[in-house]
Amino acid sequence: MKATSKLYRTEQRYAYLFIAAPVLGFLIFAMVPLIYSMYGAFTNWNGLGQMEFIGFENFINLFKDEYFYKSMYNTFFMMLGIPIGIVLALLLALALNRGIFGTNTFRVLYYIPVISSIAAVSILWQWAYNGDYGLVNQFLDLIGIEGPNWLQNTATVKPALIIMAVWKGLGYTMLLYLAALQSVPKTFYEAAKLDGANAFQAFWHITLPMVKPVTFFIIVTNIIGGAQIFTEINVMTPTGGPEYSSASVVFYIWQKAFGNFQLGYASAMALVLGLFIFIITLIQFKMNEKSSFDLD
Amino acid sequence: MEVAVVKKEVKAEPMSEKKKDRITNIFVFAFLSFGAIFMVAPLLWMFSTSLKSKEDVFALPPVWIPKDISFSKYLEIWDMGPLLSGIGNSLIVALSVTIIGTLTSSLAAFAFAKLKFNGKNKIFIMLFASVMIPYPVLMIPQFIMFSSIGWVDSLLPLIVPGLFGNLFMIFFLRQYLNSVPNSIIEAAKIDGCSYFQIFYKIIFPLIKPAVAAQLILWFMGIWNDYLGPILYLNSPEKQTLQLVIANFNASYAIQSDYPLIMAASVVALLPMLIVFIIFQKQIIESIAISGVKG
């Protein structure tokens, strides 16, 4: 009995040693900054003078700030790309799931934008959206449409960013769907066929319900990612677009914090964003029974 | 009666169904090819632009294969901005973080999957809860922390946090280790192996394929990172590759030297493209698994 407990203690000592780095990292780079940020949001923190506690003033100002609303609206607007991407990706995955000639090549080709650096891709699309010589308008010209100056126009700058985001993310979503489709037992479809179901019915009553957990995962991760959109806006519209019409929340936070040094105000904004993301994540954990953290 | 009818239909149909299948496959192939063109065209356009002369860029209608293919921009870019030091800095950050971070992550994954200790569940959930905290919430205080110790405009703020491990990697490797039988570890213990020996003689060789895939994905993430570097790095010679090309874009677009900008962007994009093409099987598998496990 004594021997086992000594062995157990040795094992425990090593275990603590092995997890020490991530636990320390968690405390230093997540916990301390989080608490700091939560406190900072209630102060007039500007990086230089004293941090003075000012209660809810930042939050009150935030909800009177036209630019905050604008950046929120822009961020949500650009999430319209999520359903478009999902429908396209599912279609592509269904097509690829037939196991036709060239499947692997297609998978690689569709995935290339995903692994491409977002900065390089933004530079490329900024050029592609050039009003006079860009690829997009030259293509539209072929089918007789005169394209706008995409990134200089309040009406088109957000759709332009959405198209690019769909293009970049499509391969990833498609891959997740393809994996999900391949795990649906073939017998389900055979049974449905025997019962006289047509292809559409089989899709509606078998495929869709079977890929539902993946759909849910995609929606949640896309919302979390979409809420933090920054790089493409910073590269393609360095000033936040015409009339600030492409600025996202993170872009506004970044400007306020590192441009104007309104650190308290920016922290308050970041906290609102963090809360939103937290709620979305919580919904995922609640609804996805599959994710459990049972050890042993 | 009904069953018999259905069976008869199924038996009577195979030939025509096979044919129908083939026709559908042709349409599907066409659909996929059409889509693939849209996916790849912008990247090809980027490459094609980089080979053009400054004037050819503005040719109407557009030229896909320029008359005079010139690789001169690929020589010019190295003098037009700190591209070489950008590549060096990106390599320093990505290599040091992934190599050391992978070691710390896999040790932790081993402990969480195979060792017994008090509070294992609680510690794991606590660690994993922190992935819910988005970077924008942490970036301001982190910046202030690093600036108070004088690390701004150095690569350290980009390197040091990563050395402590990557939670996604820990999670993924722990999952992977669950399929390794405990009896192997028990046997090694009886043979007198220390825990470090168990790790590098038994565990690490077993999880190597999973580690490799995760390491590549992590490396790509760091290589392509933009928000971290833009916060910390000001001096041109300190910047990572992604910032360098963004600055190329900002400075040379005014002179409309698009071939130059595109050549620099191709250089920034190419290393990961090559890595991806070499390891595509492992990368794609690893992504697919992480999604299904969701």
Rounded Cα distance between B38 and A139, Å, is 11
Instruction: Report the residue from A22, A171, A253 with minimal CB separation from B165.
Output: A22
Q: Which chain A residues contact residue B50 at CB under 8 A?
A: none
**Average pLDDT score over residue span B74-86:** 93
Which residue out of B20, B32, B224 would a mutagenesis test of the A interface target, given it has the greatest number of A Cβ atoms within 10 Å? B32
Q: Which chain B residues contact residue A118 at CB under 8 A?
A: 224, 226, 242
Closest-CA residue to B182 (of A9, A19, A11): A11
**Average pLDDT score over residue span A118-129:** 95
- Average pLDDT taken over every residue of chain B: 88
Say yes or no: B170 contacts chain A, CB-CB below 8 A. Answer: yes
Q: Which residue has the tokens 């939670």?
A: B167
Write down the pLDDT at residue A276. Answer: 92
- DSSP class of A207: I
Instruction: Categorize the per-residue pLDDT at B7 as very low, low, confident or very high, splitting at 50, 70 and 90.
Output: very low
Helix, strand or coil, per DSSP, at residue A126: helix
A258: Cβ contacts below 8 Å, ≥ 6 apart: B143, B231
Q: What is the pTM of this model?
A: 0.89
Q: If contacts are CB pairs under 8 Å, which of residues 79-98 in chain B contact chain A?
A: none
Q: Are the beta carbons of B92 and B155 closer than 8 angstroms? A: yes
Nearest Cα of chain A lies from the Cα of B217 at a distance, in angstroms, of 9
Q: How far is CA A203 from CA A97, A209, B166, in A?
A: 13, 9, 38
**What are the pLDDT digits (tens) for B176-219?**
898 889 998 889 888 888 999 999 999 999 999 889 999 999 99
Write down the pLDDT at residue B108. Answer: 97
Rounded Cα distance between A92 and A166, Å, is 13
Count of helices and strands (H, E) across chain A: 16, 0
Is the complex ipTM higher than 0.90?
A: no
Closest-CA residue to B103 (of B217, B199, B6): B199
Q: How far is CA B189 from CA A3, A204, B171, B198, B211, in A?
A: 14, 53, 25, 8, 24
Helix, strand or coil, per DSSP, at residue A43: strand
Write down the pLDDT at residue A228. Answer: 95
Q: Which chain A residues contact residue B252 at CB under 8 A?
A: none
Closest-CA residue to B89 (of B244, B214, B220, B212): B244
**Average pLDDT score over residue span A237-241:** 93
**What are the pLDDT digits (tens) for B249-259?**
998 877 788 99
Nearest Cα of chain A lies from the Cα of B79 at a distance, in angstroms, of 19
- For residue B61, whether the previous peptide bond is cis, meaning omega lies within 30 degrees of 0, is yes
Higher pLDDT, A182 or B56: A182
Contact at CB, B28 and A217, closer than 8 angstroms:
no
Closest-CA residue to B92 (of B44, B160, B190): B160
Instruction: Categorize the per-residue pLDDT at B143 as very low, low, confident or very high, splitting at 50, 70 and 90.
Output: very high
Say yes or no: B108 contacts chain A, CB-CB below 8 A. Answer: yes
Q: Which chain B residues contact residue A296 at CB under 8 A?
A: 120
Write down the pLDDT at residue A65. Answer: 96
pLDDT at position B53 over 90: no
How many other C-beta atoms are found inside a 10 Å radius of the C-beta of residue A9? 11
pLDDT at position B9 over 70: no
**What are the pLDDT digits (tens) for A26-40?**
999 999 999 999 999
Give the phi and the psi of residue A43 in degrees, each rounded to 5: -130, 175
Closest-CA residue to B142 (of A32, A219, A292, A90): A32
Nearest Cα of chain A lies from the Cα of B89 at a distance, in angstroms, of 16
Rounded Cα distance between A189 and A98, Å, is 13
Buried b (16+ CB within 10 A) or exposed e, B73-96: bbeebeebbbbebbbebbeebbeb
Rounded Cα distance between A126 and B247, Å, is 14
Write down the pLDDT at residue B171. Answer: 92
Instruction: Categorize the per-residue pLDDT at A291 as very low, low, confident or very high, splitting at 50, 70 and 90.
Output: very low
- DSSP class of A50: -
Helix, strand or coil, per DSSP, at residue A44: coil
Q: How far is CA A137 from CA A15, B61, B205, B265, in A?
A: 60, 11, 53, 21
Closest-CA residue to B130 (of A30, A220, A223, A277): A30
Write down the pLDDT at residue B112. Answer: 95
Q: If contacts are CB pairs under 8 Å, which of residues 16-35 in chain B contact chain A?
A: 24-25, 28-29, 31-32, 35
Q: How far is CA B168 from CA B108, B217, B272, in A?
A: 12, 11, 20
Rounded Cα distance between B193 and B176, Å, is 22
**Average pLDDT score over residue span B137-166:** 95
pLDDT at position B267 over 90: yes
How many other C-beta atoms are found inside a 10 Å radius of the C-beta of residue B208? 11
Which residue out of B39, B47, B60, B285 would a mutagenesis test of the A interface target, given it has the greatest number of A Cβ atoms within 10 Å? B39
Q: Are the beta carbons of A233 and A247 closer than 8 angstroms? A: yes
Higher pLDDT, B57 or B3: B57
pLDDT at position B291 over 70: no
Closest-CA residue to A87 (of A277, A219, A180, A200): A219
Give the residue from chain A lying closest to B257, CA to CA. Answer: A127
Amino acid at A84: I
Q: Which chain B residues contact residue A28 at CB under 8 A?
A: 161, 164
Nearest Cα of chain A lies from the Cα of B123 at a distance, in angstroms, of 8
Contact at CB, A26 and B41, closer than 8 angstroms:
no
